[in-house]
């Protein structure tokens, strides 16, 4: 019969990671105070993979840009890897979000792979170097297995993507855990047909099969809530016609899965197209709902007694004046709010 201490010593000599104890997760901020609260750890965790899923135009890539910016500040000596499977990343927009591209091609690597095997070959080769703080795959939906890419038209392709992703996602999760990487897989909703329970037959699900569901530490789902139009500020002349530009969009967020903190938290935040996450406008909406900002006619009164006419003027003043912004944030118990005002 084997001796326990001898067996344990042998395992340690072989460098098994069973004795790695994680007291808590270090996180990288999403750039939104609402989303950081929903995660329970102030951002997406380092040391595993997370899923960011949602409809189109709900800020998934914007959140990824914020995470990259914050990772570059937290870990200036590490690199960023982005696999742009959709081949649509707007690097100028990323610069507006504060992403540093001075090391493009070195400290910031941008691949445009669409084949499942090629995407994870990049991760397999670069991840174990220990040089990366963030790896982003944007997104799961367009990924296709090589057999589908080189196959004949009309060939049966049911379940090919899910079967190709299953072993690869497991390896990616292991790499992120071992080398302390924040891995993020962007995903989209799709309709899942199911008539087994007598319902309408269509439920909401994410692409890529079940592998990502098992290995993700977090899954955040995003959906559009409402669109706010500011007509006075957004009229555009197009061939003698007036079109109204979307000023802001309210997004609902749901922590669908969370292994780092209690799951099920829900909230709303505001995105301004071309600007990014509008934390000041989100703060205003929250303060009005909580009663910290009162409204009388078209005037808004903030906690320090200042009265401002019009919500847009209120947004301008809070964005530009730290003391006014702090009075509102403090009334809601939000500490260090300025770190969300980039």
What pLDDT is stored for residue 245 in this prediction? 58
Averaged pLDDT for residues 46-72? 95
Averaged pLDDT for residues 196-224? 82
pTM here is: 0.89
pLDDT, tens digit, 9 for 90 and up, residues 65-108: 999 999 999 999 999 999 999 988 999 999 999 999 999 999 99
Beta carbons of 220 and 35 less than 8 angstroms apart? yes
Beta carbons of 95 and 274 less than 8 angstroms apart? no
Q: Over 80: is that where the pLDDT of 242 sits? A: no
279 vs 292: CA distance, rounded Å:
16
262 vs 39: CA distance, rounded Å:
8
Q: Tally DSSP H helices, then E strands, for the chain.
A: 12, 17
Handedness of CA 45, 339, 68, 286 (dihedral sign): positive
At residue 11, the 3 state secondary structure works out as helix
pLDDT, tens digit, 9 for 90 and up, residues 118-129: 999 999 999 999
Beta carbons of 270 and 250 less than 8 angstroms apart? yes
18 vs 14: CA distance, rounded Å:
11
pLDDT bin (cut points 50, 70, 90) of residue 161 is confident
94 vs 69: CA distance, rounded Å:
9
Residue by residue, DSSP assigns 36-94 as HHHHSSSSEESSEEEEEEESTTSSHHHHHHHHHHHHHHH-TTSEEEEEETTS---HHHH
20 vs 23: CA distance, rounded Å:
10
What pLDDT is stored for residue 10 in this prediction? 84
Percent of the chain with pLDDT over 90: 64
Q: Which is higher by pLDDT, 200 or 37?
A: 37
Residue 48, strand partner residues: 182
Q: Calculate the average pLDDT of the chain.
A: 87
Averaged pLDDT for residues 327-340? 92
Residues written for the chain = 342
pLDDT bin (cut points 50, 70, 90) of residue 156 is low
Provide φ and ψ at 6, rounded to 5°.
-65, -45
Beta carbons of 300 and 294 less than 8 angstroms apart? yes
pLDDT, tens digit, 9 for 90 and up, residues 286-322: 999 999 999 999 999 999 999 999 998 999 999 999 9
Provide φ and ψ at 121, rounded to 5°.
-65, -40
338 vs 228: CA distance, rounded Å:
24
264 vs 102: CA distance, rounded Å:
39
Strands (E) in 131-264, as ranges, are: 132-138, 182-193, 202-206, 216-228, 235-238, 241-244, 248-258
198-to-201, 202, 303 alpha-carbon distances in Å: 7, 11, 52
Percent of the chain with pLDDT over 70: 86
Residue 36, strand partner residues: none
Beta carbons of 87 and 113 less than 8 angstroms apart? no
């Amino acid at each position: 019969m084997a001796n326990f201490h001898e067996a344990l010593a042998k395992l340690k000599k072989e460098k098994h990671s069973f004795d790695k104890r994680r007291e808590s997760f270090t996180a990288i901020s999403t750039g939104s105070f609402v989303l950081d609260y929903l995660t329970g750890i102030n951002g997406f965790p380092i040391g595993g993979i997370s899923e960011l899923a949602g409809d189109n135009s709900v800020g998934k890539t914007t959140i990824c840009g914020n995470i990259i910016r914050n990772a570059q500040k937290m870990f200036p000596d590490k690199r960023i890897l982005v696999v742009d499977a959709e081949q649509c990343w707007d690097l100028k927009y990323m610069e507006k979000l504060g992403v540093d591209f001075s090391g493009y091609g070195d400290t910031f690597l941008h691949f445009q792979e669409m084949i499942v095997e090629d995407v994870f070959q990049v991760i397999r080769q670069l991840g174990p170097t220990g040089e990366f703080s963030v790896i982003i795959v944007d997104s799961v939906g367009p990924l296709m297995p090589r057999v589908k890419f080189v196959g004949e038209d009309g060939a049966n392709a049911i379940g090919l993507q899910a079967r190709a992703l299953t072993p690869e996602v497991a390896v990616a999760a292991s790499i992120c855990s071992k080398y302390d990487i924040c891995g993020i897989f962007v995903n989209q909703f799709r309709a899942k047909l199911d008539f087994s329970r007598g319902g309408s037959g269509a439920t909401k699900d994410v692409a890529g099969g079940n592998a990502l569901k098992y290995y993700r530490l977090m899954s955040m789902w995003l959906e559009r809530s409402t669109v706010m139009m500011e007509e006075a500020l957004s009229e555009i002349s197009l061939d003698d016609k007036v079109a109204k530009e979307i000023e802001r969009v309210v997004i609902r967020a749901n922590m669908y899965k969370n292994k780092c903190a209690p799951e099920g938290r829900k909230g709303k935040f505001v995105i301004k197209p071309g600007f990014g996450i509008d934390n000041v406008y989100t703060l205003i909406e929250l303060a009005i709902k909580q009663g910290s900002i009162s409204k009388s006619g078209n005037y808004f009164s903030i906690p320090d007694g200042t009265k401002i006419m019009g919500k847009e003027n209120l947004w301008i003043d809070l964005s530009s004046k730290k003391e006014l912004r702090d009075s509102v944030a403090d009334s809601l118990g939000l500490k260090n709010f300025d770190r969300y005002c980039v």
